[in-house]
Amino acid sequence: MEADHVIRALAALAQEHRLAAFRLLVEAGPDGLPAGAIAERVGVPPSSMSFHLAQLANAGLVTQRRASRSIIYAADYAAMTGLMGYLTENCCGGVPCDNAAACGPATNRKNA
């Protein structure tokens, strides 16, 4: 995952309503949720939610598909896994799981 892409993903999650929407979608699983339901549960007007969902989609964190009149959004777990991988590798010193996701200096990487 490129640094540029990572920044888009981080920026996408760094907003109250978008983080709430993404958490909702992660919980919802692969079936996802229609845009209107997300807007209602997050508590923002549809046009605002549409703006935020577009940002999440642009960052690659969610997918969208049409089902009849609704557009269903779903979390892209692979993208989130990729983001976590980048952060672990580049911002945690490369310590992955040995210590319950504890981050440490980069020295560990070379020894491990």
In whole angstroms, what is the distance from residue 101 CA to residue 88 CA? 8
Residue 16 makes contact with DNA by CB under 7 A? yes
CB atoms within 10 A of CB 19: 15
- Spell out the residues 6+ positions from residue 54 whose beta carbon is closer than 8 angstroms to its own: none
Site for DNA in 42-61 (CB under 7 A): 44-55
26 binding partner (options DNA, a copy of itself, none; Cβ < 5 to 8 Å by kind) = a copy of itself
Site string for a copy of itself, 61-100 (x = CB under 8 A): --------------x-xx-xx-xxx-xx-xxxx--xx--x
Q: Is the Cβ of residue 31 or residue 68 nearer to a copy of itself in the bound state?
A: 31
- Between CA 101 and CA 107, with CA 102 as vertex, the angle to 5 degrees is 115
Are 91 and 102 in contact by the 8 Å Cβ rule? The answer is no
In whole angstroms, what is the distance from residue 46 CA to residue 50 CA? 6
Interaction site with DNA (CB under 7 A)? 11, 15-18, 34-37, 44-55, 64, 66, 68-71
Interaction site with a copy of itself (CB under 8 A)? 3, 6-7, 10-11, 13-16, 19-20, 22-23, 26-30, 75, 77-78, 80-81, 83-85, 87-88, 90-93, 96-97, 100-107
